[in-house]
A and B are shown apart, each in its own frame.
Chain A
Amino acid sequence: MSATPIERTLVTTTSTTTASSPTASSPTTTTPMTSTPMTVPVCALADLAPERGAAALVDGVQVALFRLADGTVRAVQQLDPYSGANVMSRGIVGTRGDVPTVAGPMYKQVFSLLTGECLDPVGYSPRPGHGPDLVAHRVEVRDGVVHVGLA
């Protein structure tokens, strides 16, 4: 793959992010929801390297898990809608403004790890049959174990 247009404009995230959570209490709960029985234990929190992703198979669905610097864990679809390959977990974790992000490892689109929204398509269109955004899955960390609930 050639290293094409990496110079780019920075998207000033006009924070329309609706995901800011009211859950306040537990620092390990990541997404705004009450705990539902539909979550599956996936791995130990210690199995995830800080600020990097890992792929997981959850009921046959490929999921990308990211452990952020503050210890929270986020999950989005592993399929990169811009390349059609199962690679999202191999992207670089970062921030745009206050939003934690992952950059697609193939063509460097930037996605919010809060909502899965594509913040910067860097001039590309998603492949036919795919939307621009990632599906965000629910994650709970209980007793050092990461649980994922498919969206």
Chain B
Amino acid sequence: MSTGPLPEGTPSQLVAAHELVVVGGGMVAQRLVEAFLARLDAAPGAGAWHVTVFAEEPRLPYDRVALTSYFSARDPEELVLGDASMWDDPRVTLHRDCKVDAVDRDARTVTDRLGRVHAYDELVLATGSYAFMPPIPGHDLPGVFVYRTVDDVAALRGWVEQVRSSRGDGVDRPVRGAVIGGGLLGLEAAGALKALGAQATVIEFGTHLMGAQIDLGGGQALKRLINELGIAVRPGSATEKMVADRRSGRVSRLQFGDGGKLGVDVVVVATGVRPRDEVARDAGLEIGERGGVVVDLGCRTSDPHVFAVGEVACIEGRCIGLVAPGYAMAEVVADRLLGGDATFPGADTATKLKLQGVDVASFGDAFARTEGAMELVWADPVAGVYKKLVLSDDARTLLGGVFVGDATPYASLRPMLGSALPGDPGAFLLPEGTGGAPTLELPDDAAVCSCNNVSAGTIRAAVTDHDCTDVASVKACTRAGTSCGSCLPLVKKITTTELERAGIEVSNALCEHFEMSRAQLFDAVRVADLHTFSEIIGRFGVEGTRGCDICKPTVASILASQGNGHILAGEQAALQDTNDHVMANMQKDGTYSVVPRIPGGEITPDGLLVIGQVAKDFGLYTKITGGQRIDMFGARIEQLPDIWRRLVEHGFESGHAYGKSLRTVKSCVGSTWCRYGVQDSVGMAVELELRYRGLRSPHKIKLGVSGCARECAEARGKDVGVIATDKGWNMYVGGNGGFTPRHAQLFAEDLTSAELLRTIDRFLMYYVRTADRLQRTAPWVDDVEGGLDGLRAVILEDSLGICADLDAAMASHVDAYEDEWRAVLEDPDKLRRFGSFVNAPTVADPDLAYVAERGQRRPATPEERAADAPVIAGPRLEVRA
């Protein structure tokens, strides 16, 4: 360890032979630590290292590229990169909310914002960039934002919501937003404003949008597509000043160089980024002409013990504001720190716009600047499509490309950069269905996933050498597609091709115990009239086996859908998955959350008081769910019956939040109160929820009912969405949120209430019977023969002659419903499984530990446990009423 002030921190820090300090906690810093630890693990002789990371933001490194998704996800946790447990590694210390203010290169120390001095042997600067705010008069007015961090996004969202709600004058005028800067980030910001329900106008100084990536032709096509999203574009406009409202002092108008004006309530400035090189400057490191810390191809700065990576590094004479080159630099430094000689492979500047409904991609020499380069263009202004390939002078080698409106060829062409294209290059640009592009056989060294630097050869090897048989396992094995996901279609294609080549049939067998698919097994069980797992595996399973965690819950679901009594009755209990087994949702520390049913989100004040009192008595953390009910967290397994006894006593029943079954029917307040509502959406939601409660299905099912076309219940994000019309109800199917969000599609119009119930009955029952295991309705609808039209034929026209059967099955479900929790409380035999220990059924798990946060308790983190931080002593005793 170097001399100088003793670092503070964990003992492991004191015994480590080498101290690596990383200044900055963004995506590239995260990748650096990950890559460094992986190399340490692979090189046992590397000696003992300790890594200290200083992050300015108060959170774990997150996926800044996916920032726009934070508008819909709203959960910063979902943006966390890689395996968050890396930060629990004893070799790593992460200081959040702890910027480094100074570097002393002679003493080899850094000083953090709290004045603490930390010694280093090797230092990596990964401070990234800041959003550049041009000196336009009025840029500091309230209502002017930049777009760089989760906090920026949260502030912008808060502002828009506040502007909307503070109006209160009865005027239904949308919030007016403007984005200054028509680059990649500016367009994403405009999309975000739209997502927030605000208007958006993009102000672009240059001739066209995304001028750094695409040419004028592409820019014009892009403008049309952007306009179709309801976003206005003002190219060739210099913003002269931002003007405040005289009364409120908030930004209210933009004034342009051409004399034009634009009224605004919110402005986002996205005019580019600048490297955060101030600490490096103060430390006397060499700085590039336009900023950034100058590094060589090994990412070393002018000081041999200081490296710089990512956007702050000035490499080959420039700073690069993209994550893939930053990741490449992180790998280089990780290698160099352990004595390697890796060099920066050159920047992959390919980009893809992440804006729903607009496909834009650009890669390589998009502007045909190479000597003798030829441009091959396909443009269809009517369809809003512009595609261009840049080829070498012999029209063979691919140098770059631009895709607007249809970026399908991008994923397979980009890895071909620098290679000769097979056949006629023009074929790649023609629309699908006109002969189509020649099949590409990517060379093994072609990069497929540039975020994680995975080549086509690595993906093939995952199939051939590592026995991966589907995309999920290929992802887990190679990490391809785990960052931005834009390469996933290509990963899937390569995987499937390789599987076919290896003669591996993509099987639909449930698992090693059943050769049937779920739908086949469902029918078999029904026709053979079987009622226990032993009978079913004996008759249809592989002889002599006893099932597994895949087939058992599937059979449990099939039995439950066919009305075989309580899910914890007899042998069925052993089949139930984690949550179903105790009828609650397991949380990260092994305790559970409890969700009583609140049909349609309608609850009396007395009901609220009961839930509040129960949560208080048992010390449970409470949170409103996305499905308009209340979740109580931190219930120990042995507490569940006591909690439910109280809830059931006061008229609550299971909410099935734990089941692959109906979850909630979300509703807006509808015509009973709302001045716009045209039907009683709450009444319908309650009726639907009570009708389908407890229905076991291949995956969870959510419904929504909106009282008018304004769609406040977000019904089109549900498996079944119902939207009121003047004449009745429109029914939508196949929507969901989650990992792959889908909008529900219109299935039938202007149904009466009775017709609606019958149609939903049939839709759900047909889904329950024929969908694959864990297949939600959206992919199931895609898989039904004939798609949505095929489904209409089955359900509305009874083309298979099964509607009477579906109706009867649903009627029997509705008749047989009983509250699962009430039934458990009445049965001492079922209650026995809720003991904590078989030899001490009321003793709480002694390892549970909690800390207080924002007035409630949450599980202590490993650091808090290790530091013996103010942990609330384990499980607390509940007060019984």
Contact = CB atoms under 8 A, between A and B. Distances in A.
A95 B85 contact: no
B472 A96 contact: no
A122 B475 CA distance: 11
Given A10-B512, A56-B838, A51 B574 contact: yes
Given A8-B473, A105-B586, A128-B88, A92 B838 contact: no
Contacts of B835: 54
Nearest to B91: A128
Contacts of B574: 49-52, 92-93
Nearest to B471: A7
B90 A128 contact: yes
Contact of B586 (A51, A56, A106, A127): A106
Contact of B511 (A2, A10, A42, A129): A10
Contacts of B470: 7-9
Interface string A66-110: 000100000000001001111100111111110011010110101
A91 B548 CA distance: 10
A24 interface: no
Nearest to B578: A105
A39 B839 CA distance: 15
A27 interface: no
Interface in B570-588: 573-575, 577-578, 581-582, 585-588
Given A1-B588, A86-B590, A94-B552, A42 B90 contact: no
Interface of A: prevailing SS = loop
A41 B472 CA distance: 44
Contacts of A43: 838-839
B837 interface: yes
B593 to A, nearest CB: 10
Contacts of B89: 128
Nearest to A63: B837
Contact of B90 (A56, A83, A101, A129): A129
A49 B575 CA distance: 12
Nearest to A51: B574
Contacts of A55: 836-838
Nearest to B90: A128
A125 interface: yes
Interface residues of A, number: 53
A5 interface: yes
B838 A125 contact: no
Interface string B460-472: 0000000111101
B862 interface: yes
A123 B473 contact: yes
A42 B511 CA distance: 35
Interface string B737-781: 010000000000000000000000000000000000010000000
B476 interface: yes
B537 to A, nearest CB: 10
A114 B648 CA distance: 42
A57 interface: yes
B549 A49 contact: no
A110 B89 CA distance: 24
B827 interface: no
Given A85-B590, A86-B845, A5 B472 contact: yes
A1 to B, nearest CB: 6
Contact of B552 (A9, A90, A92, A105): A92
A6 interface: yes
B97 interface: no
Interface in B370-408: none
Contact of B578 (A5, A86, A90): A90
A90 B546 contact: no
A28 interface: no
Contacts of A96: 512, 548
A1 B585 contact: yes
Given A9-B467, A49-B574, A128-B85, A95 B472 contact: no
Contact of B85 (A5, A91, A94, A125): A125
B833 interface: yes
B454 to A, nearest CB: 15
B573 A9 contact: no
A52 B838 CA distance: 12
B17 interface: no
B838 A47 contact: yes
B655 interface: no
Contacts of A106: 578, 586, 588, 590
Interface string B473-486: 10111000000000
B427 interface: no
Contacts of B545: 95
B868 interface: no
Given A52-B573, A62-B845, A128-B88, A92 B839 contact: no
B473 A101 contact: no
B847 A123 contact: no
Interface in B535-582: 545-553, 573-575, 577-578, 581-582
B528 interface: no
Contacts of B553: 92
A141 interface: no
A3 interface: yes
B283 interface: no
A136 B461 CA distance: 35
B839 A85 contact: no
A118 interface: no
A125 B585 contact: no
A65 interface: yes
B588 A83 contact: yes
The CB with the most chain A CB atoms within 10 A, among B590, B774, B840, is that of: B590
Contact of A5 (B476, B637, B738, B845): B476
B83 interface: yes
B589 interface: yes
Contact of A8 (B472, B836, B845): B472
Contacts of A95: 513, 545-548
A132 to B, nearest CB: 13
Contact of A92 (B472, B477, B549): B549
Contacts of B738: 2
Interface in A17-70: 42-43, 47-52, 54-57, 62, 65, 69
Contacts of B1: none
Contacts of A10: 511-512
B847 A65 contact: no
Contact of A87 (B88, B477, B590, B833): B590
A18 B162 CA distance: 66
Nearest to B89: A128
Contact of B546 (A7, A86, A94): A94
A8 B547 CA distance: 16
B85 A127 contact: yes
B838 A42 contact: yes
B843 interface: yes
A83 B774 CA distance: 23
Contact of B550 (A6, A42, A90): A6
Contacts of A84: 589, 862
Contacts of A91: 549, 578
Contacts of A125: 83, 85
A101 B511 CA distance: 14
Interface in B55-102: 83, 85, 88-90
Interface of A: 1-3, 5-10, 12, 42-43, 47-52, 54-57, 62, 65, 69, 80, 83-87, 90-97, 100-101, 103, 105-106, 108, 110, 122-125, 127-129
Interface of B: 83, 85, 88-90, 467-470, 472-473, 475-477, 511-513, 545-553, 573-575, 577-578, 581-582, 585-590, 637, 738, 774, 833, 835-840, 843, 845, 847, 862
Which 7 interchain pairs have the tightest Cβ spacing?
Answer: A123-B476, A94-B548, A103-B549, A85-B590, A105-B578, A92-B549, A54-B838
Given A52-B573, A106-B590, A123-B475, 19 more contacts: A1-B586, A1-B588, A7-B470, A8-B472, A9-B468, A9-B470, A12-B467, A48-B838, A55-B836, A83-B590, A86-B590, A90-B586, A91-B578, A92-B549, A94-B546, A103-B548, A110-B549, A127-B862, A128-B89
